[in-house]
């Protein structure tokens, strides 16, 4: 899975920010005003010092009161505007991040399965989990620092230049020292943070592998080996983290040197200016106070460079998914064909090099046609279904589809939610009447009465368990609600068991009415009712035609059919 560079992250963030330009401009105005309010106090204190020296303050208490009033109101105003600015900036950044996250999930769902498998599902989980968490954690520290510091630094430099350009010059001399410290840090930190993130992803992948295969690990006594592997990858994470901390410590030491130089420089300049009479003690005091005031924002900014780097490394991984090439949409060639048309041309597919699961498949499905795919185990039926569904891209040839499609496999996922939510996920605006009608049409009316809460009953692993047949009915009812033009049923009714098999077959037939159906047939009775039968052998189409024609001919299908008719439960 790719990792986006800073330019791409910036481009995608700007895309997510598009349409919020006015909010950005208003935010900049508020933050500039907040920063400007902040320089009133140092300037007023400088005036107090000069006033005390010249005796104005003792002779005119109203002057001191007036300065005090200015200071108090500027502090209050600055705090208010600062709070508004930080809240506004946090909101804007959270919205941008939410948009990026949604786009990441959207792209992740459209990525070819093979690509996700190649990258390791741990990588994707780590990006959607660890990286999103890193960015979310960084926001509370990064946003106020970024929002406040930039404007405070800019306004303070202007304020210092107003007192005396020499003070501003000292600041400008210190800035390169800071800049060098930051540059040195940025040169090494991103790789270290990226390494840390990658090591975390590797650890997540190893943990996931071991947990998923827990039973095999136990059965084969592999626990020690797996614990060793996890310890190794965990130490790799620890190693990267220690490198990151070492880089930070060097960085902070350099920042301290920059502060020392700045403070010393201002004192020297102030001393010279006051000595030669071109500056006042009050002016030097104000300049020193302004500089001291800067420590907070500058350090805050530099401290969060750390969090910022870490967040940017994570953002690069999030945006990397967004910019990953999604599955190409097979539209060409059938764009003028009616919805429900499927065309496979010269399709060859292999999971492992040198071993073709499918070879040179030519197949066309017309709208409304039901095609049953039969054949021995491992002959490529599921691969054919997966290619038509777009789960995999063919290695050679093209798969073209027109219209919407739903794939139903044997593995039905029941979400931890109500029965209604498990059905309306196929169609968000479905009314209860539509949901009940769909359940009725797949023969699952009894399911609603069986569950105490009816449609409101929680199902899934934390709720009331459903039988395998009920899960299949749920999947078929979802198809009715989604109302696609093309349905692919990959052994979708295989779980039923003999008692439920007929009911599920009838439900599958009901779901297929008026749609194009590709069914990987588990029982030859399903093939017998299809419009066309495709018999697979060693990844190729061995025979195809209507059931009646194939059964009457003296071919492989006829032999299968005869064997099955003699002993119906024995399938293929
Ligand atoms: N994810 C995979 N990785 C590697 N090889 C695979 C994968 N899926 C299927 N195969 C191989 O591809 C070939 C075709 O498998 P496929 O599952 O399409 O056959 P099938 O006819 O549907 O079998 P069954 O009826 O047992 O489901 C088999 O040799 C199988 O081992």
Can you give the pLDDT at residue 50? 84
At residue 404's C-alpha, the angle toward residues 401 and 409, to 5°, is: 90
- Ligand 1 atom closest to 350 (CA): 12
Can you give the pLDDT at residue 62? 83
In this structure, the residue with its CA closest to atom 3 of ligand 1 is 351
Distance CA 128, CA 242 (A): 25
In this structure, the residue with its CA closest to atom 14 of ligand 1 is 380
340 CA to middle of ligand 1, Å? 26
383 CA to middle of ligand 1, Å? 6
Stretch 33-54: mean pLDDT, rounded? 86
495 has a pLDDT exceeding 80? no
Q: What percent of the chain has pLDDT over 70?
A: 94
330 has a pLDDT exceeding 80? no
Stretch 326-337: mean pLDDT, rounded? 58
Stretch 13-19: mean pLDDT, rounded? 83
CB under 6 Å to ligand 1: residues? Answer: 351-352, 357, 375, 377-383
Residue 287: which H helix or E strand, with range? helix 281-322
30 CA to middle of ligand 1, Å? 62
Stretch 424-441: mean pLDDT, rounded? 92
Stretch 433-441: mean pLDDT, rounded? 93
Question: What are the Cα distances from residue 221, in Å, to 208, 213, 214, 226, 227?
Answer: 18, 12, 10, 10, 11
CB count within 10 Å of CB 8 equals: 17
359 CA to middle of ligand 1, Å? 13
Can you give the pLDDT at residue 110? 80
Residue 161 confidence class, pLDDT cut points 50, 70, 90: confident
Can you give the pLDDT at residue 572? 39
- Residues comprising the chain, all counted: 572
**How would DSSP label each residue in 359-410?**
EEEEEEE-TT-EEEEEESTTSSHHHHHHHHHTSS--SEEEEEE-S-EEEE-S
Can you give the pLDDT at residue 328? 54
Strand order in the sheet with 396-401: 355-365, 342-352, 396-401
149 CA to middle of ligand 1, Å? 59
In this structure, the residue with its CA closest to atom 30 of ligand 1 is 378
Stretch 165-191: mean pLDDT, rounded? 83
Can you give the pLDDT at residue 199? 92
135 CA to middle of ligand 1, Å? 40
In this structure, the residue with its CA closest to atom 31 of ligand 1 is 378
Report the candidate in 367, 368, 406 with the shortest Cα–Cα distance to residue 492.
Answer: 406
- Ligand 1 atom closest to 380 (CA): 18
Measured between its terminal Cα atoms, the distance across the chain in Å is 40
> Which among 121, 381, 538 is the best mutation to test ligand 1's pocket, defined by most ligand atoms within 8 Å of the CB?
381
- Residue identified by tokens 């009920």 is 470
380 CA to middle of ligand 1, Å? 6
Residue 109 confidence class, pLDDT cut points 50, 70, 90: confident
302 has a pLDDT exceeding 70? no
- Ligand 1 atom closest to 358 (CA): 14
58 has a pLDDT exceeding 70? no
Residues of 95-106 as b/e, b for ≥16 C-beta within 10 angstroms? Answer: ebbebbbebbbe
Q: Domains in the chain, ordered, with CATH?
A: 6-319 (1.20.1560.10), 342-566 (3.40.50.300)
Can you give the pLDDT at residue 499? 66
Distance CA 1, CA 46 (A): 58
Report the candidate in 307, 316, 313, 309 with the shortest Cα–Cα distance to residue 142.
Answer: 307
493 has a pLDDT exceeding 70? no
Report the candidate in 107, 42, 145, 65 with the shortest Cα–Cα distance to residue 317.
Answer: 107
- Residue identified by tokens 């400007």 is 36
Residue 497 confidence class, pLDDT cut points 50, 70, 90: low
Distance CA 398, CA 391 (A): 13
Torsion, Cα of 429, 433, 437, 439 (10° steps): 70
In this structure, the residue with its CA closest to atom 12 of ligand 1 is 357
379 CA to middle of ligand 1, Å? 7
> Which among 113, 114, 383 is the best mutation to test ligand 1's pocket, defined by most ligand atoms within 8 Å of the CB?
383
Three-class DSSP category at 312: helix
35 has a pLDDT exceeding 50? yes
Residue 73 confidence class, pLDDT cut points 50, 70, 90: very high
Residue 570 confidence class, pLDDT cut points 50, 70, 90: very low
- Ligand 1 atom closest to 520 (CA): 22
Question: What are the Cα distances from residue 298, in Å, to 153, 156, 173, 292, 566?
Answer: 8, 11, 15, 10, 86
499 CA to middle of ligand 1, Å? 28
440 has a pLDDT exceeding 90? yes
- 8 Å CB contact between 319 and 309: no
Torsion, Cα of 540, 546, 548, 549 (10° steps): -70
In this structure, the residue with its CA closest to atom 2 of ligand 1 is 351
Can you give the pLDDT at residue 421? 92
517 CA to middle of ligand 1, Å? 21
When the pLDDT of each residue in the chain is averaged and rounded to a whole number, the result is: 85
User: Per-residue pLDDT tens for 514-555?
Assistant: 999 999 987 788 888 899 999 999 999 999 999 999 999 888
Can you give the pLDDT at residue 531? 93
Distance CA 155, CA 39 (A): 8
327 CA to middle of ligand 1, Å? 22
In this structure, the residue with its CA closest to atom 18 of ligand 1 is 380
- Ligand 1 atom closest to 572 (CA): 25
């Amino acid at each position: 899975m790719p990792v986006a560079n800073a330019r791409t992250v910036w481009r995608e963030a700007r895309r997510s920010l598009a349409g919020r330009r006015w909010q950005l401009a208003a935010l900049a105005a508020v933050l500039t005003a907040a920063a400007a309010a902040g320089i009133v106090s140092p300037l007023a204190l400088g005036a107090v010092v000069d006033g005390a020296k010249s005796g104005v303050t003792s002779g005119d208490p109203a002057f001191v009161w007036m300065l005090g009033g200015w200071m108090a109101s500027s502090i209050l105003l600055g705090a208010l505007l600062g709070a508004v600015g930080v809240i506004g900036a946090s909101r804007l950044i959270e919205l941008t991040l939410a948009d990026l996250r949604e786009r990441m999930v959207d792209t992740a769902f459209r990525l070819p399965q093979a690509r996700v498998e190649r990258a390791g599902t741990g990588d994707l989980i780590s990006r959607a989990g660890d990286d999103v968490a890193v960015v979310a954690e960084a926001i509370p520290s990064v946003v106020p620092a970024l929002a406040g510091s930039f404007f405070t630094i800019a306004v303070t430099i202007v304020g210092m230049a107003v007192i005396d350009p020499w003070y501003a010059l000292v600041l400008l001399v210190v800035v390169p020292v800071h800049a060098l410290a930051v540059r040195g840090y940025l040169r090494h930190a991103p790789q270290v943070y990226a390494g840390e993130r990658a090591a975390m992803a590797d650890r997540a992948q190893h943990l996931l592998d071991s947990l998923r295969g827990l039973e095999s690990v136990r059965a084969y006594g592999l626990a020690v080996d797996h614990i060793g592997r996890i310890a190794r990858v965990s130490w790799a994470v620890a190693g990267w983290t220690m490198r990151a901390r070492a880089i930070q410590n060097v960085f902070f030491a350099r920042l301290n040197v920059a502060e020392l130089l700045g403070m010393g420089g201002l004192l020297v300049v102030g001393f010279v200016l006051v000595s030669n009479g071109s500056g006042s003690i009050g002016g030097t005091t104000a300049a020193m106070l302004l500089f001291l005031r800067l420590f907070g924002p500058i350090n805050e900014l530099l401290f969060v460079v750390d969090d910022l780097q870490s967040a940017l490394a994570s953002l690069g991984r999030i945006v990397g998914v967004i910019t990953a090439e999604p599955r190409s949409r097979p539209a060409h060639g059938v764009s003028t064909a009616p919805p429900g048309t499927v065309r496979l041309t010269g399709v060859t597919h292999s999971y492992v090099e040198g071993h073709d699961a499918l070879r040179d498949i030519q197949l066309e499905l017309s709208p409304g046609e039901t095609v049953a795919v039969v054949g021995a185990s491992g002959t490529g039926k599921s691969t054919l279904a997966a290619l038509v569904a777009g789960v995999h891209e063919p290695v050679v040839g093209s798969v073209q589809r027109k219209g919407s499609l739903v794939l139903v496999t044997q593995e039905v996922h029941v979400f931890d939610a109500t029965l209604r939510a498990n059905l309306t996920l196929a169609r968000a605006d479905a009314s209860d009447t539509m949901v009940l009608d769909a359940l009725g049409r797949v023969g699952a009316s009894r399911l609603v009465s069986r569950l105490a809460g009816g449609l409101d009953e929680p199902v899934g692993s934390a709720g009331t368990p459903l039988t395998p047949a009920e899960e299949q009915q749920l999947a078929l009812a979802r198809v009715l609600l989604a109302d696609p033009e093309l349905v692919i049923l990959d052994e979708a009714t295989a779980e039923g068991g003999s008692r439920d098999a007929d009911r599920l077959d009838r439900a599958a037939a009901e779901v297929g009415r008026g749609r194009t159906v590709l069914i990987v047939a588990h029982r030859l009775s399903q093939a017998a009712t299809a419009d066309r039968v495709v018999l697979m052998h060693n990844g190729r189409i061995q025979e195809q035609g209507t059931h009646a024609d194939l059964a009457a001919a003296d071919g492989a299908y006829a032999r299968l059919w005869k064997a099955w008719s003699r002993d119906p439960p024995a399938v293929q």
